[in-house]
Amino acid sequence: MRALIVDGCKTTRRLLGIYLKSIGFEVVFAENGLDALEKLVGADINLILVELYLPYMDGIEFVKTVKTNPLSVDIPVLMVTTESDRERKEMAIRAGVDDYIVKPVTADLLLRHIEDVLKTKPI
């Protein structure tokens, strides 16, 4: 299984990567939405973790692009963000996010959310 982590913060990318590698994921990193779209092409990604606030293309626009592409529409997407605003969360869900987690995130919390998403959207 391979996951794409999209976050502008290098420390957050590393931390999320450690969590995912601990449960057997291979990890691909992107620091913004445009970079992530390029890395999705032919990468056989099974899960995406994305921050709402990204340079060049925010997480909502990134998710909309992923979910309108027939090649990536079925990839589960977790938004892992600092934004706790209810309206932003609803926007993310409407864009196609499968789950929404507010930072800070522990390994246990993240892994529970990943398990829940993968149960509802088998890969």
**pLDDT confidence of residue 108:** 94
| pLDDT tens, per residue, the chain with 123 residues | 999 999 999 999 999 999 999 999 999 999 999 999 999 988 899 999 999 999 989 999 999 999 999 999 999 999 999 999 999 999 999 999 999 999 999 999 999 999 999 987 655
Helix ranges (DSSP H) in 22-85: 33-40, 59-68
| Pairing verdict, β 99-102 and 26-30 | unpaired
**pLDDT confidence of residue 43:** 87
DSSP symbol at 70: T
